[in-house]
Structure 1
Amino acid sequence: MAKFLLKSTFTPEGVKGLVKDGGSKRAEVATRAIEAAGGRVESLCFGLGEYDTYVVCDLPDHKTAAALAIAIRAAGGVDTRVVPLLTPQEVDEAVRKQMSYQPPGA
């Protein structure tokens, strides 16, 4: 399983739905969608800022994360962005990999 951050912003129609349904129902809907995709929600919070919701979850792979985001956005009401997350151990593995790169102008 891979870890992802789903950042979402409600559209004007989505805000109307939020007012009608409430936050708990929207959280349940999001959780069910993630679980139906084979994932697990670690945390789900509403925010007051650039994004309206933040969900940290585990999903089977990047294709599943993309499919979930596409389905959510296609349904309307919410604009969702997916951010792959790395564990500290995955970063440890990444920094041990030998990479070759030439910076611009070098």
Structure 2
Amino acid sequence: MPKFLIQATYTPEGTRGLLAEGASGRRAAVEQVVSGLGGTVEAMYFAFGQDDLVIILDFPDPVSMAAASLTVKASGALHTRATPLLTVEEIDDAARRQVAFRAPGA
């Protein structure tokens, strides 16, 4: 199952919701969205600094991740970045593939 790293920053409205609901309430909401799309939450951490929230998710496909991302972003409660995560084996496979490429100006 494809794995994704989610980094999120709450808006003021989202922070007020977190304060009212608590972290466990937000965890339950994330798990509901992810499981509803056939995925699982591997890890979820709150942080401070540039990101307020870091999550690692497994989804059946990238379209499921996109559906979750669009819905969350439309809420206006947080800004997110999703990064696809690849295993060591997947990178080894990619490194073995032949790619025809010419650098600009070469």
Settle same-fold status: TM greater than 0.5.
yes
Per the alignment, residue 22 of structure 1 pairs with 22
Partner of 1:8: 8
Structure 1 position 99 matched with structure 2 position 95: no
Distance of 2:51 and 2:37 partners within structure 1 = 23
SS in 2 for 1:51: coil
In structure 2, runs of 5+ residues without a counterpart are: none
TM-score by length of 2: 0.94
What's 2:62 paired with? 62
Task: Return the TM-score normalized by structure 1.
Answer: 0.94
Q: Between the two proteins, what is the percent identity of the paired residues?
A: 40
CA distance in 2 between counterparts of 1:83 and 1:11 reads: 20
Q: What is the CA-CA distance between 1:104 and the residue it aligns to? A: 2.5
CA distance in 2, matches of 1:4, 1:76: 21
Measured in 2, the distance between the counterparts of 1:33 and 1:76 equals 16
RMSD of Structure 2 on Structure 1 (CA)? 1.0
